[in-house]
Each structure stands twice: as structure tokens, then as C-alpha cells.
Structure 1
Amino acid sequence: MPSSTRSRRTRTLPAPRSGHRAGALSVVGLILLTLNLRAAITGIPPVLATLQADLHLSGTQAAVLTTLPVLCLGVFAPVAPVLARRTGTETVLAGALVLILAGILLRTLPTQAALFAGTLVAGAGIALGNVLMPAVIKRDFPDRIGVMTGLAMTLMAATGALAAGLAVPLTAAGGRRAALTVWAAPALAAATAWTLLAVRRTPLGPPAAAAPAAAGTAPPASVLRSPLAWAVSALLGIVSLCFYVLVAWTPQIMRDEGYPAAEAGAMTSVMLTIGIPLGLAVPIAAARVRDQRPLVATVIALKAAGLTGILLAPQQAWAWTGVLGVAIGAAFPLAMTILGLRSPDPATAARLSAMAQTGGYLLAGCGPAAIGILHTLTGGWHTPIVFLIACTVPELLVGLVAGRSGFVGAR
């Protein structure tokens, strides 16, 4: 055996004891990573009025502040797989979590510039983590994609809801700085864990010269030429668009239908809470079958039913928001699971994730504003809701392509 081959194998195959410890740390790292991918975003809207009063933000500045994190998720997504190939996945994730930590702390400074700069920095870190999370699951837990994706989705949903729920009480108890600073602790813990993991830095995939592509698959760069990759990306994009539009506008829709502000807010909260257990159940169910099209069709049918119900029978809004809670609570975890299942290797998972999240979050970032403009132009919510119902048609079409068994890049 040539010496170069022996050397390469020695570096690739760790000792059993070291591998076991590394595997446990990888689980801890994944858990800590997911705890930091929503809280820095969802903790801002509930205290927006306080921020406006303290820092003298205009209405336009407040709108930009709430839209900026979602746009960051799309703008910075393409950078993640490039950095991961050059410096290693663990190094990029450690850096991403340092960015989240820095952004959280920067936002506590009493200036408008610090608030916006901190939001931008934290958004960049979250974007990198979002993209690489499916690749890490694909690489480290290839036989447990459903379970680990479900765990990640559940923790993301739970911490996002917790951050939104604690924002106002923490602000009342200790001011806006307390509400913003509390999430620095999990960011510091996660950055520490991924720094330790970076010691055994692992790229997402071997260079093409070192290891040929698996039989039946093309190199990862082929994602932009893959119809399946475009279908997965379009599915995630439409799912994200509908989610952020409903989160942004459901309270106002219900208030305009005559519900008190507190009840309208409670409907939105229940709609989001329903999705927490679905974040675990749906990926597990999706990973157990080869064909996810029946699940895709069911989730989209529920979304269309919930939107149609709000349009035609708003007096039963509690029932319809419950249906929408099931639909949007299942849709994002299902789309993320499909992304992992359609990827033949971690490198493809990272590239596909970047491709899907770039378009998806840019579309989602523009969605609430576009729906608001449509509402203003038409003077009501009928046309915007009809538009969302119409979006379920292309969502179903691309979902049926994305949900079919196969791999991106397969010949």
C-alpha cells in the first residue's frame, strides 16, 4: 500500500474511543446550534414598541428592523458551503455562533446604529447555521436523518416561541437590554462547543481529485442544473413565504374581522405552538417512507382548507387557525427533511440548502411587505388571502416533484 494512502486513512479513521466522544459532542453541538437559530429573530417583534420609544425609531425603521433578519438569511446563505469547503464545517459554525453572540451583545448598546448592525451580524450568523445544519445531520447522522431533523426543528420552534413569549416579561422586569442579552448565554455555550469540534475540523466532502463521486450521482456543483434541486428550493421558498406572511398578518386579519386584539394575538400564538410537536413527528414520519408525496399533498391540502375557511367563514377563525397551525407547523420541517433525503452526501446537502434558503428567505422577506401592499391597494384581505390560496397550486406541483424518491444529481 502506498504511504500516501496509509497516511490518508490514518487521518480519516479516528480511534474508537475518540470517535465515541466526538459523536456525543456532535449531538450536543447540534442541539446548542439549533437553540440559537430563531431566538435572536423572534425576540425582537414583541418589544418593537419599546425599541421605537427608547431609540426613537420611525415606522419605516421598525419595518426594516423586522424584515432585515429574514433578508439576511437569504443574502448570506450562499456563503456557507464555500466557507465550509475551505475552512471546515465546524470552524464555520463556531464562527457563525460567535457572530450571533456578537450581534446579540451589539444590539444592547443604546444607539440605532448598534441595533441595526447587531441585527445584521446576528442574521449573518444564523444564515450560516441554517444552511450547514442539514449538511451536519446528513454527515454525522446519515441513518437518523428523520429523528435528528425532527429534534432540530422542534428545538428551533420551541426556542423561537420561548424568546417571543419571554420578551415582554423580561423587558418589564429588567428593561430591553435584559430581554436582548439573555440569549447571549446559549450562544456562548454553542460557540464553545463548536470551537471544540473545530479541533477535529472536517470538510463537508473530499476534493474531487481525492475521492470520486458515488455511483449514480454527479458532483455537488450540479445542483443548479438539477430540476429536482429547483423543485426542493421552490418548495422551501413557498413554504417560507406562507409562514412569514401568516405570522406577520394573521393578528391584523383577525382584528379586522372583529376579534379583540388580545384574542387575535392568542390565535397567532396557538397557531405557532401547534407546530412544536409537529416539528419532531413530521420529519420522523417522512424519513420512514421512500416517497413523501402523500405527506406533501396532505399538508398543502390542510393549508388551502385553513385559508379558504378564513376567507369564507371567518366567524370560525379559531378552528381555521388551528388547521393552519397544523399545516405551517408541518410544512417547514417536511421541506427541510426532504432537502436532506434528496441529498446523496453532505456536500450536496450544504449546496442544496444554500440554494433553497437563498431564494426561499429572500422571497419570504419580501412576502409580508407585498401582502401588506396588496391589502392597501385592494382595501381588504380578500385578495391577499386568495393570493395565498393560489400559491398552494405551485407549492403542490413542486412538492410532488421534490417528494418523489431520488437524489439530486442522480443520473
Structure 2
Amino acid sequence: MADTFVKQRASVRVLAGGGLLGVAVVLAALNLRPAVTSTGSVLGEVRTSLGASATWAGALTTVPGLCFAVAGSIAPWVAKRIGLPAAVSVALALLTGGLVIRVLDGKLVVLGGTLVATAGIALANVLIPVVVKDAFPARVGLMSGLYTGALQTGGALGSAVTPGVDNAFGGWRPGLASWAVLAGVALVLWMIGARTKPGLPDTGPVPEGGPRSLLRNGLAWTVTLFFGLQACLAYIVMGWLPAVLMDSGVSRGDAGLLLGLISLLGLPVSLFLVPLAARSRSQSWWVVALGVFGLAGITGVMIAPGAAPLLWSIGIGIGMSVFSLAITTITLRSRDGADTARLSGMAQGFGYLLAALGPFLFGLLHDVTGSWTVPFVLLLLTSAGQMILGWFAGRPRFV
């Protein structure tokens, strides 16, 4: 009887620890976008306050994408050296510290703090899927849905809440610094949750011949290009769609609302579709189905942007929800946490480099041709390529 009671208490502790870690994962994910989106929402005020140039503003908005690519690629190495729980703690500590640093002084400090914060985000971007894979093997779909839903919610909150905090507390510095509080809470909860979850592993043993490389693995490149193309499409839409809609007669306010709607549509897809897709043997048809909506919306904006902008935006938003499946595919195409870390680092490292080219090429094509038609052909090709690669990435195989 006593042994049974002890086992029951141990089981309760394990369940409680797993639940606390799950909350920590979601809260951490909630912090991985506001550092970026909050800056955009007050960028004009920041430039005016600091006397900064447009070139400086361009550098500030470019830093996150480059950090996602560079710092994300070393995340598996960091986790191998200090262990997965400690590596995530370092990531959240960098994020918290960077958010504080960037509001303390002038232009260089803002850039430096943003660099530190986004380096922390890049590490967490790669490592959190490993936590999902190793700590919740029976609930990968559910946790992936919650994780990606929290990412998208955090991004929307960053742009929506920061101006209000700015107005309430008298400036952009408290508006941006307020996100350090949420990041600090996430760090504390993560450190507690990682301790109470028994057996949370590191990234796995290193094979005798050294760490395994995925650079010659065809499936790994398929997943990487799938992730990169969907991110490229998202970067183009977020950066250019409002301008396209305003050129067709949509007001600035309505264009902003439509862009917000596109972001929010990813939340229900993450919460409800991803768990279903993860339980399927293959995710290929799910990727294609979402892609069809995206193609329809892009085509509508290309042909008649002002005719039904709400309908086109809904189609694009549903199509861009494939981001949730791209993240989930990383965990489903790997056998263990070690391979998840390697695949996540490769997909996000190379993928975000590819994504960074998208908005530049879109704008260049618009400048060269003087119209939106050719840039939208690029967008259609990107969407079609994402669907094709997503079909192959979604098939039930392992790297």
C-alpha cells in the first residue's frame, strides 16, 4: 500500500512537472516575436527621438532576420555543450537582457540591444521544437499547435499593445522595455518547469565519429527549402501587401487591419489543424490544401486588388498558416531530439537567409518594371514552390 502511494505521488509530480513545462514552453513562445513587431509599431517615433536616418532604420529591421539565420545555426552546438535546459535559459536571458539594453541609450545601443535580443530569439526558435519532441513525444501535435499559436499571438500583441503602453507611460522607451517583463517571467517559469520535468534530455549523444551532419541529406534540404519559401512568402506579404492595397485605393487604416487579420488567421489553424495534421501519417495534403487558399488570395490581389481585399486577405492568411505545419514538420521528420536540433538549426538557419531575399527582390522587380504584376509572378512562383516542397517534406520519412 505504501509503495503504491509513493508511486502515485511520484506520478502526480511528473504530470505536474510536465504541465508546468508545457506552460513555460507556451509563455516562451509568446515572447519570440514582440521584440521584433513592437519595434515596427513605434519605429517612426524612435527615429525622430534619436535623429536616426532611414538607413539606420533599415539596419534595425534587417538585424532580426540575419540573427535568426546566423545565431540559429549554432543553437545545436550550444545545446550540446551546456545541455538543452540551460541553452533555453541562456536564450531567454539574452532576450530579456537585450530588451532592457536597447532602451538605455542612443542609436548604437538600440542596435546592439536588438542584436542581443534577437540572438536569444534565434536560439529559442531552434531549441523549443526540440523540447516539444523530447518532453512531449505523445503530444507533439498539440504542443506544436500551442507553440506556433503562441508565436503568432505574441507577434500580433507586439504591434498592437506597444503603442498603447507608449502613450500611457510617455514614450517609446517604456513601450519597448515593457516586453522585458514578460520575457523575464518566461525565463523564471522555464527554469522552474525544466527542473520539475524529470528526464528532460540534452540534444542527444554525439556519435563516435563526431556530430552527424544533415547537409548531404536530401530530405533535410527539402524541409529547409519548404521552410525558407514559406518564410519568404510571409516576409513579402508583411512588408509589401499594405502598399499594394493602398495603391489600389484601400485606405492606410484598412490596409493595416487586413494585415492584422492575416496574422490572426494563423492562430485557429495552429490550435485546431496542426494536432490533426500531426496525427496523420502524411502532412502533404494539409500543406497543399492551405497552399491552394494562399494561391487564390495572391491571384486575387494580383488581378483585382481593390475588388475584394477582405476575401483576398482571408485566402492569403489561411495560406500563410502553413508556417505552423513547417515548424511541426521539423519535429515529425526527425527520430529524436538530436536530429530535431540539427534539422531545426539547418531549416531555420538557411531558411531565414532565403526569406530575407524575398522582400528585396519583390521591391527590386517593382522598381524595374514600374508595376506590381511581375513581383506578383515571383510571389505566385514562391507559393507554388512551397506547395511542391511541402508535399515532399510532409511524406512519412525521417532524416
User: Which band: TM-score by shorter chain?
Assistant: over 0.9
Q: Give the Cα–Cα distance (whole angstroms) in 2 for the partners of residues 198 and 335 of structure 1.
A: 26
The offset of 1:20, in angstroms, is: 3.9
The offset of 1:21, in angstroms, is: 4.5
1:371 is aligned to 362
Matched, 1:386 2:377: yes
Picking from 228, 238, 241, the partner of 2:229 is: 238
Cα offsets for 1:77-111 (capped at 9, x unmatched): 11110111111011011011110011100111230
Asked if 2 retains the 8 angstrom alpha-carbon contact of 1:220 and 1:351, the reply is no
Picking from 25, 39, 44, the partner of 2:39 is: 44
The offset of 1:17, in angstroms, is: 6.0
2:328 is aligned to 337
Picking from 73, 91, 96, the partner of 1:101 is: 96
In structure 2, relative to structure 1, the CA distance for the partners of 1:249 and 1:184 (3 Å cut) is same
2:204 is aligned to 205
Aligned residues: 386
Q: Give the Cα–Cα distance (whole angstroms) in 1 for the partners of residues 210 and 98 of structure 2.
A: 36
Matches within 5 A, 1:38-187: 38-174=33-169, 175-187=171-183
Asked if 2 retains the 8 angstrom alpha-carbon contact of 1:80 and 1:354, the reply is yes
The offset of 1:142, in angstroms, is: 0.7
1:322 is aligned to 314
Q: Which amino acid aligns with 1:360?
A: G
Cα offsets for 1:237-258 (capped at 9, x unmatched): 0000000110111111111111
Q: Give the Cα–Cα distance (whole angstroms) in 1 for the partners of residues 363 and 192 of structure 2.
A: 45
Structure 2 residue runs without a partner (length 5+):
1-9
Q: Give the Cα–Cα distance (whole angstroms) in 1 for the partners of residues 59 and 370 of structure 2.
A: 23
User: Any idea what SS the aligned residue of 1:76 has?
Assistant: helix
Picking from 266, 279, 284, the partner of 1:288 is: 279
User: Any idea what SS the aligned residue of 2:308 has?
Assistant: helix
The offset of 1:18, in angstroms, is: 5.3
Alignment RMSD: 1.9
Asked if 2 retains the 8 angstrom alpha-carbon contact of 1:139 and 1:345, the reply is yes
Matched, 1:359 2:350: yes
Picking from 388, 392, 399, the partner of 1:401 is: 392
Q: Give the Cα–Cα distance (whole angstroms) in 2 for the partners of residues 359 and 222 of structure 1.
A: 14
Q: Give the Cα–Cα distance (whole angstroms) in 2 for the partners of residues 118 and 186 of structure 1.
A: 17
1:5 is aligned to none
User: Any idea what SS the aligned residue of 1:397 has?
Assistant: helix
Of stretches 345-354 and 271-280 in structure 1, the one that deviates more from structure 2 is 271-280
Q: Which amino acid aligns with 1:115?
A: V
Of stretches 265-274 and 198-207 in structure 1, the one that deviates more from structure 2 is 198-207
1:269 is aligned to 260
Structure 1 residue runs without a partner (length 5+):
1-14, 210-217
Q: Give the Cα–Cα distance (whole angstroms) in 1 for the partners of residues 207 and 333 of structure 2.
A: 20
Q: Give the Cα–Cα distance (whole angstroms) in 2 for the partners of residues 321 and 20 of structure 1.
A: 41
The offset of 1:207, in angstroms, is: 3.8
Asked if 2 retains the 8 angstrom alpha-carbon contact of 1:42 and 1:161, the reply is yes
Q: Give the Cα–Cα distance (whole angstroms) in 1 for the partners of residues 260 and 13 of structure 2.
A: 44
Asked if 2 retains the 8 angstrom alpha-carbon contact of 1:306 and 1:324, the reply is yes
Q: Give the Cα–Cα distance (whole angstroms) in 2 for the partners of residues 49 and 133 of structure 1.
A: 33
User: Any idea what SS the aligned residue of 2:253 has?
Assistant: helix
Q: Give the Cα–Cα distance (whole angstroms) in 2 for the partners of residues 55 and 300 of structure 1.
A: 42
2:215 is aligned to 224
Asked if 1 retains the 8 angstrom alpha-carbon contact of 2:274 and 2:328, the reply is yes
Asked if 2 retains the 8 angstrom alpha-carbon contact of 1:205 and 1:347, the reply is yes
State the TM-score, normalizing by the size of structure 2: 0.92
Asked if 2 retains the 8 angstrom alpha-carbon contact of 1:303 and 1:324, the reply is yes
State the TM-score, normalizing by the size of structure 1: 0.90
